Amino acid sequence: MRYCRFDDDRLGIVRGDRVHDVTPVLDKLPACRWPLPAYDPLIAALPKLRGDMEAMADRVTPVPIASVKLKNPVPNPSKVIGAPVNYHAHIDEANRDKEISFGKTIKTIDHYGVFLKSNSSLSGPSEPVPVVEKDRRTDHEVELAAIVGETCFDVPEAGALKYVAGYAIGLDMTIRGPEERSLRKSLDRFSVVGPYVVTADEIPDPENLDLEILVNGQVRQKSNTSRLIFGVAKLVSYCSNFYTLYPGDIIMTGTPEGVGPVQAGDVMHAKIERVGEMTIAVTRRTAPLPPPAPAV
Ligand code: MN
């Protein structure tokens, strides 16, 4: 099953190039009061509601997906986890290009572990990504995003994929510079998730998917998730050794080689085999950023 959030927060089932509006199913979610739950209520309820969503989708008249505004389908994760330097060829390019590594020698993910991106940086394909035009380089990073389906802690790698509800395309937009990743990767709309969630049953092997991103029609990044250093199962296990994972937590699994800058007016087109594709505009950020501190 593929589901999306669209227009004014409507829930859709995607079949082919059409969206079936199943928003009334959301009335079956438990009513929330303060404090709100620390997880995405729809993902948590998905095993129960999936049948209702599919049944309603059968009954309603769909509209072309091109006619709706797609938003991030996972709006309420407890956290967005990023996996740094998780492809060898990306580490090699970072060590060649001082604008990426900022004078540091980059090691592999084993050394750094994972990092968090702010939830307020989440956005969907219909929302342009704002970047500064000068001084600071902002790069695209296309990544497979795994969406946690069940609360889990300290799970072994073998069997870890059963805690994944589904997958989406993630863009881990990044300002290059010496600051912490959590700052440089958490600007508004720097975590693009879309075009929809594809449930895990449609993706039997997430560790063998072609992924790519084009900017203005030119291929920039093109690889396969089989080249991940920490594969999806290992990442879920690794993260769960540190944090409790909750339904809706988003794990951006890392980006392959070919990262590069984007500027206002550019159009990004990201694609992952079996997951889908999406087009995202880049726009100008109106407030300037401070210049980077000197490299240490
Ligand atoms: Mn990344």
The sign of the torsion formed by the CA atoms of 209, 57, 69, 181 equals negative
CA of 230 to the centre of ligand 1 (A): 13
CA of 120 to the centre of ligand 1 (A): 17
CA of 255 to the centre of ligand 1 (A): 5
The answer to whether residues 160 and 236 touch, using CB atoms and an 8 Å cutoff, is yes
CA of 56 to the centre of ligand 1 (A): 37
For 117-139, the pLDDT digits (tens) are 999 999 999 999 999 877 789 99
CA of 141 to the centre of ligand 1 (A): 6
Distance CA 93, CA 230 (A): 18
CA of 252 to the centre of ligand 1 (A): 7
CA of 216 to the centre of ligand 1 (A): 21
Burial classification of residue 181, based on how many CB atoms lie within 10 Å of its CB (0-12 exposed, 13-18 middle, 19 or more buried): middle
Average pLDDT, the chain: 95
Distance CA 258, CA 86 (A): 13
CA of 231 to the centre of ligand 1 (A): 14
DSSP class of 71: E
pTM for the full model? 0.96
Distance CA 164, CA 132 (A): 35
Give the pLDDT score at 296: 58
β pairing state of 142-148 and 164-172: antiparallel
**Amino acid of residue 278:** M
What are 215's two structure tokens?
């900017």
* Cβ atoms within 10 Å, residue 29: 13
* Cβ atoms within 10 Å, residue 59: 8
Q: How far is CA 144 from CA 22, 226, 256, 275, 283, in A?
A: 26, 11, 10, 9, 24
CA of 64 to the centre of ligand 1 (A): 31
* Cβ atoms within 10 Å, residue 31: 6
Distance CA 64, CA 62 (A): 7
How many CA atoms, within 13 angstroms, populate the side-chain half-sphere of residue 28? 17
What are 62's two structure tokens?
């769909």
CA of 92 to the centre of ligand 1 (A): 15
DSSP class of 152: B
CA of 256 to the centre of ligand 1 (A): 9
Give the pLDDT score at 164: 98
CA of 182 to the centre of ligand 1 (A): 11
For the chain, give the number of residues.
296
Spans of the chain, pLDDT less than 50: none
Give the pLDDT score at 134: 73
Distance CA 248, CA 150 (A): 8
CA of 60 to the centre of ligand 1 (A): 38
Give the pLDDT score at 136: 84
